[in-house]
Amino acid sequence: MMDKRIRQRLLERRQELLARYHDELARATEELDSRDSEDVENATELWDARVLSVLGNTDARTLSEIVAAIRRLDDGCYGKCLECGQAIGAARLVALPEAASCFDCALAAERPQAVRLAR
């Protein structure tokens, strides 16, 4: 029962991210259709910039993490940290259902980045 709820949350989040992309794609297609052939190249560049801003690095990474979490559900290893193999805390999974690492491993992975940024 819990796996079904988790899967549903992941699928809903995935759909939300994809909807952003599809909405932008529809707008760009409309814009391209209304342009002269000379303007198509400029409109294409504009569309690329819009898509990148809508489906930025964060959304793309999140989408990838969601798909990976669904695969882990299917494989029966959802909720286990990919780094240390320990269970990921329930509170962390509720807050971030696509989490692939426990809090301690996630914190350890972010520490070196924070140190580099501080320098």
Those residues with Cβ within 8 angstroms of residue 98's Cβ, 6 or more apart along the chain or in another chain: 10, 13, 62, 65, 66, 68, 69
Q: Are residues 14 and 71 in the same domain?
A: yes
Q: What is the pLDDT of residue 20?
A: 75
Q: What is the pLDDT of residue 61?
A: 84
Q: Are residues 11 and 37 in the same domain?
A: yes
3-state secondary structure 38-89: HHHHHHHHHHHHHHHHHCCHHHHHHHHHHHHHHHHHHHCCCCECCCCCCECC
Do the Cβ atoms of 57 and 75 come closer than 8 Å?
A: no
Number of structural domains (the chain) is 2
Q: Are residues 18 and 34 in the same domain?
A: yes
CA distance linking residue 47 with residue 8, whole number of Å: 31
Q: What is the pLDDT of residue 107?
A: 92
Q: Are residues 4 and 42 in the same domain?
A: yes
The pTM assigned to this predicted structure is: 0.66
Q: Are residues 9 and 33 in the same domain?
A: yes
pLDDT tens for the chain, 119 residues long, are 578 889 899 999 988 888 877 776 677 667 666 655 555 556 666 666 666 566 667 777 888 899 999 999 989 999 999 999 999 999 999 999 999 999 999 999 887 655 545 54
CA distance linking residue 89 with residue 81, whole number of Å: 9
- Which range of residues forms the domain containing residue 97? 79-119
Q: Are residues 6 and 33 in the same domain?
A: yes
Q: What is the pLDDT of residue 2?
A: 73
Q: What is the pLDDT of residue 86?
A: 97
Q: Are residues 58 and 107 in the same domain?
A: no
Q: Are residues 69 and 105 in the same domain?
A: no
**Residue 97 neighbours by CB distance under 10 Å:** 22
Q: Is 91 exposed, middle or buried (0-12, 13-18, 19+ CB in 10 A)?
A: exposed
Q: What is the pLDDT of residue 64?
A: 86
Q: Are residues 67 and 111 in the same domain?
A: no
